[in-house]
C-alpha cells in the first residue's frame, strides 16, 4: 500500500515539477509512510526526492516508535547536539543550488524559516501541490475505513436519538464528555470534537460546550467525530456527524424550519454526483433553504473533504468549480443559526462513486424527540 502511494507521489512530483517533498507533523506523513510525527520542537522530517529512497530524519530516541518499512523509507536518527535542519539540507544537496521543494502544510514555521535560510536559491510550495489530489481520491480500502468510522458514530447518534444518553439537567460539557467516551468505545483512537449546543447556543456553529444546563423544551445540536484506531501504525480515518434532538415537543416554527433543512440536506446529497461542480452542490442546499427564507442563516460552506484529516480537499463552497471525482469523500452539512434563538444542522459523510452518491452515515436524519 505505502509503496504504491510512494510511486503515485513521485508521479505527482514529476507532473508538478517538484524536486523534493518534505513532510513533518500533520496528516501527510502518516498517510505516506504510516508514521505520525510528534508535534514537538525536535524535528521529524521525511525527505522524498524523485530518485533516492525516502529518508525519515527523526530524534534518535524516537526511532523505536517507527514501524519500519524498509521497502519504502530508511530512518536516520539525530542526536541531541546535532542540527536536524543541516541533516535535511544535506539530503537535498543533490538538487544543486536551485529547485522546487514542497513542504507539509503543518510543518512548524521555525523549520521552514531555517531551511529557507539554508537553501536560499530554492522555491518553496505547499505539499498540497503534490499530495492534495492524491489524498482527495480515496483508495477502496480507505473508503472501507471511512465507512467503518461512520458506522461507529452512527451508533453513538442512535443512542442519542433513542434517549440512552440523558440530556435534561446535565451540562453540555458533561454530555460532550459522554459522547467522547462512546466514540472511543466505537473503535476510535481519538475524539476530534464533540459539540453539544443547547437552545440559543445552537445558533453558534462551532459552540464550545460549557456549563450551560440542558432544559426541557429546547433543541440540542450534537456534532461529533474522531479518528479510528488502525493496526501496524497505519493512519486512522476520521468520522464527523451532526444530529439534532429536541427535549420535548418543538414549536411549529422550529418544526417547519427543520423540515426545510432536512429536505435541503437530502437534495444536496442527491446532487453530489461525479462530475458536478463542488459549488453546485452547495448551491442546491442554499437554494432550498432560500425557498424557506433561511439562507441568510446558513452561515458556512456546505461541506469539507474528510480522510486522514477531519477537514481536507475537496471543499463544497461557492467559488470551487472543480468537478467532484469518484473517490472523493466529503461532508454535506447545511444548517441554520438564528442568533440568540436556536439553530440546527444535519451532517453526513458522503462518498462520490461511479454509481452515484453513497452516504456513509445511516443514522436517522429526523428530529428525534427525547423526553429525558
Ligand atoms: Zn465545522
Ligand atoms: Zn461535524
Ligand atoms: Zn463536518
Q: Tell me the pLDDT tens digit for each residue of 272-327.
A: 999 999 999 999 999 999 999 999 999 999 999 999 999 999 999 999 999 999 99
Ligand 3 centroid, distance to 315 Cα (angstroms): 11
20 Cα: distance to centroid of ligand 3 (angstroms):
32
State the cell numbers at 213: 444546563
Distance 43 CA to ligand 1 centre (A): 30
2-134 CATH pick, 3.30.70.920, 1.10.760.10, 3.40.350.10, 1.10.10.10: 3.40.350.10
The string of pLDDT tens digits covering residues 128-154 is 999 999 999 999 999 999 999 999 999
Sign of CA dihedral 245, 247, 252, 253: negative
Q: Which residue has the cell 536551485?
A: 98
156 alpha carbon to ligand 2 midpoint, in Å?
Answer: 14
pLDDT of 341: 97
Rounded to 10°, the helix 109-118/84-91 angle is 50
**Which one of the ligands is nearest to 345 CA?**
2
CA of 2 relative to ligand 1 center, distance in Å? 30
What is the model's pTM? Answer: 0.94
Model confidence pLDDT, tens digit, residues 293-304: 999 999 999 999
pLDDT digits (tens, 9 = 90+) for 216-274: 999 999 999 999 998 888 899 999 999 999 999 999 999 999 999 999 999 999 999 99
Q: What is the mean pLDDT of residues 203-222?
A: 97
Helix residue ranges per DSSP H, the chain: 2-16, 28-33, 84-91, 109-118, 128-136, 140-161, 172-185, 252-271, 278-291
| Ligand 2: centre distance to CA 223 (Å) | 5
Every domain of the chain and the residues it spans: 2-134, 137-369
Q: Is the pLDDT of residue 372 over 80?
A: no
State the ligand closest to the CA atom of 157: 2
What is the model's pLDDT at position 232? 81
Distance from residue 345's CA to the centre of ligand 1 (Å): 10
- Confidence label for 37 from pLDDT (cuts 50, 70 and 90): very high
d(CA 311, CA 62): 28
Distance of alpha carbon 301 from alpha carbon 334, whole angstroms: 8
Distance 333 CA to ligand 2 centre (A): 7
Question: How far is 103 from 364, CA to CA, in rounded Å?
Answer: 42
How far the first Cα of the chain sits from its last, in Å, is: 48
206 alpha carbon, closest ligand:
1
Dist. CA 269 → ligand 1 center (Å): 18
User: Relative to the alpha carbon of 192, which ligand is closest?
Assistant: 2
How far, in Å, CA of 177 to CA of 109, rounded? 33
CA dihedral 153, 156, 160, 161 (to 10 degrees): 70
Per the CB < 8 A criterion, the answer to whether 131 and 161 are in contact is no
CA distances from 13 to 17, 20, 35, 158 (A): 6, 8, 21, 44
Say how far apart CA 238 and CA 307 lie, in whole Å: 6
Q: CATH code for 137-369? A: 3.90.230.10
Tell me how far the alpha carbon of residue 205 lies from the centroid of ligand 1, in angstroms.
Answer: 7
Q: Report the alpha-carbon distance of residue 340 to residue 38 in Å, rounded.
A: 40
Q: Which ligand is nearest to the CA of 193?
A: 2
Residue 55 φ then ψ, to 5°: -125, 130
Calculate how far, in angstroms, residue 35's C-alpha sits from the geometric centre of ligand 2: 26
pLDDT at 231: 84
What ligand is nearest to the CA atom of residue 225?
A: 2
CA 95 to centroid of ligand 1, rounded, Å: 41
> Are 44 and 25 in contact, with CB atoms under 8 Å apart?
yes
- Rounded-to-integer distance, Cα 240 and Cα 115, Å: 36
Q: How far is the CA of 240 from the centre of ligand 3 (A)?
A: 5
Distance 206 CA to ligand 1 centre (A): 6
Amino acid at each position: 500500500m505505502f509503496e504504491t502511494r510512494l510511486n503515485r507521489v513521485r508521479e505527482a512530483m514529476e507532473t508538478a515539477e517538484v524536486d523534493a517533498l518534505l513532510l513533518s507533523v500533520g496528516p501527510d506523513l502518516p498517510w505516506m509512510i504510516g508514521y505520525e510525527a510528534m508535534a514537538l520542537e525536535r524535528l521529524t522530517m521525511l525527505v522524498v526526492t524523485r530518485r533516492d529512497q525516502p529518508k525519515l530524519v527523526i530524534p534518535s530516541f524516537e526511532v523505536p516508535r517507527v514501524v519500519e518499512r524498509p521497502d519504502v523509507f530508511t530512518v536516520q536518527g539525530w542526536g541531541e547536539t546535532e542540527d536536524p535542519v543541516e541533516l535535511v539540507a544535506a539530503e537535498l544537496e543533490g538538487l544543486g543550488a536551485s529547485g522546487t521543494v514542497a513542504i507539509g502544510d503543518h510543518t512548524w514555521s521555525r523549520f521552514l524559516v531555517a531551511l529557507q535560510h539554508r537553501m536560499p536559491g530554492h522555491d518553496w510550495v505547499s505539499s498540497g501541490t503534490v499530495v492534495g489530489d492524491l489524498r482527495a481520491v480515496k483508495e477502496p480500502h480507505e473508503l472501507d475505513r471511512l465507512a467503518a468510522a461512520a458506522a461507529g458514530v452512527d451508533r453513538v447518534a442512535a443512542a442519542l436519538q433513542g434517549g440512552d444518553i440523558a440530556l435534561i439537567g446535565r451540562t453540555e460539557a458533561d454530555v460532550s464528555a459522554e459522547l467522547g467516551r462512546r466514540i472511543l468505545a466505537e473503535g476510535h483512537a481519538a475524539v476530534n470534537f464533540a459539540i453539544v449546543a443547547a437552545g440559543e447556543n445552537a445558533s453558534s456553529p462551532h459552540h464550545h460546550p460549557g456549563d450551560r444546563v440542558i432544559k426541557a423544551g429546547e433543541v440540542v445540536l450534537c456534532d461529533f467525530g474522531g479518528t479510528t484506531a488502525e493496526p501496524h501504525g497505519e493512519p486512522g480515518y476520521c468520522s464527523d456527524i451532526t444530529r439534532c434532538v429536541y427535549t420535548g415537543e418543538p414549536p411549529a416554527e422550529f418544526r417547519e424550519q427543520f423540515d426545510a433543512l432536512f429536505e435541503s440536506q437530502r437534495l444536496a446529497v442527491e446532487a453530489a454526483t461525479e462530475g458536478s461542480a463542488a459549488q453546485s452542490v452547495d448551491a442546491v442546499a442554499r437554494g432550498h433553504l432560500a425557498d424557506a427564507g433561511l439562507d441568510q442563516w446558513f452561515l458556512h460552506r456546505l461541506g469539507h473533504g474528510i480522510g486522514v484529516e477531519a477537514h481536507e480537499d475537496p471543499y463544497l463552497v461557492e467559488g470551487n468549480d472543480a468537478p467532484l471525482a469518484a473517490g472523493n469523500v466529503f461532508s454535506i452539512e447545511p444548517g441554520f443559526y438564528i442568533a440568540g434563538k436556536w439553530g440546527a444542522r444535519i451532517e453526513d459523510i458522503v462518498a462520490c462513486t461511479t454509481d452515484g452518491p453513497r452516504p456513509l452515515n445511516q443514522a436517522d436524519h429526523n428530529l428525534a424527540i427525547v423526553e429525558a
